[in-house]
Amino acid sequence: MLPIVITLIASLFATPTLVANKATKAPIIDGKPTDACSKAATWLPIDQVWLGKPMAKGDFKGRYKLSWDSKYLYVLAEIEDDTLIDIHPDGLDKYWDDDCLEIFIDADASGGDHLASYNAWAYHTALDGKTTDFGPNSKPHYYNEHVITKRITKGNKTVWECAYAIYPDTYVDREKNTPLTLKKGHTLGFAIAYCDNDKSPERENFIGNVFVAGEDKNQGYKTADIFAKLVLK
C-alpha cells in the first residue's frame, strides 16, 4: 500500500511535460496578444512560490502561453504586479532584484548544471527588454540578440511578448553561433518565472511554473534538472 501512496503523491508533484503547438504564422512581437497562435494556445499558470513569503492578494498573478516555429520559441506572459521597479540602473548589477521575467531554456533537455556553462540558459528579461544571464566566466552577460521582446503595461497588468532563439550547448562567446532550426517532435527543457520586487532592496518573491522539491526552491539559475520538458508539436 505504502509504495502506491508514495507513487501517487510523487505524481502529484512531478514536473509536467508541456506541449507547444506550431505557429502557422509568426506572431508580431508588439506586446499585443492578438496573433492567431497566441489566441489558439492555452494559458498555463505561474503559481509556484520559489522564494519569499506567501503573497497577499494583488501582489502577483501570472500566466503564460507558448508556441513555436522553426526560428523561435514564442512566450506570451501576462503578469499582474502591483508595483514595477528597476532599482539597479546598471543592467548587469543584481538584475534579479528588479522586476523581471525569467525564461529557462535547455536546448537538448539534458538537465544538469548550467551556472557557468551554456548547457542551459536562465534569461532574465528586464523591464527595459535587456536580457542577461551568467556566462562561462561566472559573470553576467547581455544576450539581447537572443530574444525579441516587447511589453505593454496597463495599470497593474503587463503583457510580455517574447521570441527566443534557441542556442545549443556548443555556444561559444564572441564567435558566430547559429541557433537551432526547431522541428516538430523536438524536446526542450523549459521553465518560466517572475522576479517580483515592489519596495525592497532585494526581490520579495520569485514565482515559477514548476514545482521544486525541498527547502531551497531557487534552483533554476544553476541547474536545468528542475525544468519541465517541453515538446514541440
The reply on whether position 198 binds Ca ion by CB under 5 A is yes
**Which set of grid coordinates corresponds to residue 42?**
492555452
The reply on whether position 69 binds Ca ion by CB under 5 A is no
For residues 3 and 54, which CB has a smaller minimum distance to Ca ion in the complex?
Answer: 54
The H-assigned helical ranges of the chain are 2-13, 36-40
Shortest distance, position 16 Cβ to Ca ion, whole Å: 19
Handedness of CA 115, 227, 74, 90 (dihedral sign): negative
Neighbours of 109 (CB within 10 A): 18
- The residue within the footprint of Ca ion, chosen from 108, 129, 156, 218 (CB under 5 A), is 108
Contact 59, 88 (CB under 8 A): no
- The residue within the footprint of Ca ion, chosen from 119, 149, 158, 209 (CB under 5 A), is 119
- The residue within the footprint of Ca ion, chosen from 196, 209, 219, 230 (CB under 5 A), is 196
- Restricting to residues 23-62, name those near Ca ion by CB under 5 A: 27-28, 30, 32, 35, 59-60
For residues 52 and 140, which CB has a smaller minimum distance to Ca ion in the complex?
Answer: 52
For residues 162 and 212, which CB has a smaller minimum distance to Ca ion in the complex?
Answer: 162
Looking at the chain, how many residues does it have? 233
Shortest distance, position 111 Cβ to Ca ion, whole Å: 7
Residue type, 194: Y
**Strand 121-126 to 187-196 pairing:** unpaired
What is the rounded CA–CA span in Å between residue 79 and residue 88?
A: 21
Contact 160, 184 (CB under 8 A): no
The reply on whether position 225 binds Ca ion by CB under 5 A is no
**Can you give the binding site for Ca ion, defined by CB under 5 A?**
27-28, 30, 32, 35, 59-60, 81-83, 99, 106, 108, 110, 119, 169, 196, 198
